[in-house]
Amino acid sequence: MKVYGYARVSTEEQVKSGSLNQQIDKIKDYCNRHDHDLINLFTDAGVSAIKERPEFEKMMETISQLPRTKVRGL
């Protein structure tokens, strides 16, 4: 299955502590264990949930262009 991933942390401190990288590693590991093809991994680093999340928006725009039968959440 082809999939897109998304990881986000709210603060720059979380970026520095490795929290974002931990999320990325977990997404990649999940895809490897379940034989999923990770097409793209979008990340927003140091972006609060109440502010704009540019990479999330980019991901949503990308998947909205796919045929409906191809879109499925994990």
Residue 6's domain is classified under what CATH number? 3.40.50.1390
Angstrom distance (rounded) from CA 34 to CA 32: 6
58 φ/ψ angles, rounded to the nearest 5 degrees: -65, -40
Residue 25 scores a pLDDT above 80: yes
**pTM for this predicted structure:** 0.78
Tally of domains within the chain: 1
Dihedral over Cα of 17, 20, 21, 23: its sign: positive
Pick from 43, 56, 51: which is nearest to 15 by CA?
A: 43
- Expressed as residue numbers, the domain containing 34 is 2-70
Model pLDDT, residue 51: 73
Q: Read off the pLDDT band of 69 (50, 70, 90).
A: low
